[in-house]
Amino acid sequence: MNPPADEAPPYLVPHSQEAIRLLYRDSHLLIVDKPSLLLSVPGRHPKNYDCLLARLGRRYPGVSAVHRLDLDTSGVMIVPRRREALSHLARQFQERQVDKIYVARVAGHVSGETGEVDLPLTADWPNRPKQKVCGDFGKAALTKWRVLSRDAQSSLLELKPVTGRSHQLRIHMKEMGHPILGCDFYAPASVLSAAPRLLLHATQIRFHHPVSGHRLTARSPPPALFQCD
């Protein structure tokens, strides 16, 4: 679903050459599988023009963003096509009616099989765009986790963010003592270099269709490099 090269501005050098995979389409919304190293929305710098919305907008004019995934994070995203759908979906996100599941490979052996991290987060202003744990001024942030598998040096986790704070999963895993492999913000150099990309993938999203009200579930399996050796 990438646009032809002659449609891109001459200064554009995309971070990701990987195509966007379309999982679902109707006249109100799209559900897509975003590749890693593709921005969800355009950045201010001309080099950050290329993004999910820009690519989709060439084929589906009028698309807008109701939520985002980080540049490095891959996986399932909902993309509204109409203003009414955007409003309805935004309300679902605000009222925490959207269920999201991620898969992450983290450093080390996680003790136990299930658990949760409940630590408030706020912007780390001197080090933006980083976030940090802050008991005084942070907003509530809750992540539930479950171990899926382990190998000699890492664990594969299912993560369910109850809240949707920026960098929540990255920071909560770091605070557990198990930073996500390939994380350039919160992992030490040895963990950053342990993977060719951030091993965080949005594998499932469940929500109500903004018009029919039907409960929709979209899934995207994590790439093969997430699996145990």
Catalytic residue among 33, 50, 70, 72: 70
Sign for the pseudo-dihedral over CA of 182, 184, 73, 154? positive
* 70 is known as an active-site residue: yes
Q: Residue 83 and residue 57: Cα distance in Å, rounded?
A: 14
Q: Which one, of 56, 68, 76, lies nearest residue 93 by Cα?
A: 68
In whole angstroms, what is the distance from residue 122 CA to residue 215 CA? 32
Question: How many beta carbons lie within 10 A of that of residue 29, not counting itself?
Answer: 24
Cα(138)–Cα(162) distance, rounded to whole angstroms? 16
> 207 and 97 in contact (C-beta within 8 Å)?
yes
Separation CA 117–CA 94 (nearest Å): 21
Active site residues: 70
